């Protein structure tokens, strides 16, 4: 009879130890409650919990990658776009993450979705496409400030895709093509202006010395003679003949 009682007691102790012992990894912490009241954060390593009296909520301190679902956003210039993003965050205060908010992961996800729509809705489409890095920083700073009370640190936010409907894509393509044509015309007109200015300057220099004009004429003939042609017909100015006669 005594031996059976000892066996029962020993078995009870073994079961109690099984339910009492917790082992936390290096990146884990345990938020301990005793009779419902917070009594501390423990870990990592071996943790002893009194069953029925104490409870422990395990928290992972590693960086969590949160995929923000695609959001329908209306830009400041009334363009509808579909945007999704990814948020990197981690728990830096396990006590706040468990006590101050219910399901901090879901809360951060919902906050990221609403903040994404709010921030992007304040900007025009061109800013969304051209200033994505700046928008990432703005969203990250807003999220980090709001989640600080939850013991959460937002380390990075990246907008992954900004998708437009087919009509808007074609409109942007036409706009880009028109912009390229405009720049090409401006460059061509600038080149024509510079060329005309150079020709005018050269004409002014040549007009100061009639012999320079004749030398330029001979140089032109030399350039033409280098072409692969059978015959060349060119005008010969009378003034040049008179100049040659005077020299002879």
**What is the distance between the alpha carbons of residues 127 and 123, in angstroms, rounded to a whole number?**
6
Between CA 214 and CA 192 the distance in angstroms is 26
Q: Tell me, what's the pLDDT at 55?
A: 92
pTM of full prediction above 0.85 = no
Residues of the chain with CATH 3.30.479.30: 64-164
In the structure encoding, which two tokens stand for residue 77, read together? Answer: 């210039």
Residue 11, pLDDT score: 75
- Measured from the Cβ of residue 99, the count of other Cβ atoms closer than 10 Å reads 15
Q: Is 208 exposed, middle or buried (0-12, 13-18, 19+ CB in 10 A)?
A: exposed
Instruction: Classify 64-164 by CATH class.
Output: alpha beta
If one counts every other C-beta atom within 10 angstroms of the C-beta of residue 207, the result is: 10
Rounded to whole angstroms, the Cα distance separating 18 from 193 reads 90
Residue 52: DSSP 8-state: T
Q: How far apart are CA 218 and CA 213, in angstroms?
A: 9
Over the chain (248 residues), the average pLDDT of each successive run of 10 is: 73 77 93 94 91 92 94 87 94 96 94 94 88 93 95 95 73 67 81 76 66 60 60 58 54
């Amino acid at each position: 009879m005594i031996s059976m009682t000892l066996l029962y007691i020993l078995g009870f102790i073994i079961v109690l130890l099984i339910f009492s012992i917790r082992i936390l990894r290096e990146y884990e912490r345990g938020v301990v409650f005793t009779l419902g009241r917070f009594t501390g954060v423990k870990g990592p390593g071996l943790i002893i919990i009194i069953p029925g009296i104490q409870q422990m909520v395990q928290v992972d301190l590693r960086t969590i990658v949160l995929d923000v679902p695609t959001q329908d956003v209306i830009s400041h210039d009334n363009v509808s776009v579909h945007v999704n993003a990814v948020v990197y965050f981690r728990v830096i205060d396990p006590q706040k993450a468990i006590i101050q908010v219910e399901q901090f992961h879901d809360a951060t996800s919902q906050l990221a979705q609403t903040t994404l729509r709010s921030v992007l809705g304040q900007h025009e489409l061109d800013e969304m496409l051209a200033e994505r890095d700046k928008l990432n920083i703005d969203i990250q700073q807003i999220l980090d400030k709001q989640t600080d009370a939850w013991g959460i640190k937002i380390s990075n936010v990246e907008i992954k895709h900004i998708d437009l409907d087919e009509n808007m894509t074609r409109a942007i393509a036409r706009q880009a093509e028109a912009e390229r044509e405009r720049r090409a015309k401006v460059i061509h007109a600038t080149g024509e202006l510079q060329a005309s200015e150079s020709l005018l300057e050269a004409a002014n220099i040549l007009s100061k010395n009639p012999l320079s004009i004749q030398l330029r004429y001979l140089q032109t003939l030399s350039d033409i003679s280098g072409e692969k042609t059978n015959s060349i017909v060119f005008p010969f100015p009378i003034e040049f003949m008179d100049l040659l006669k005077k020299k002879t």
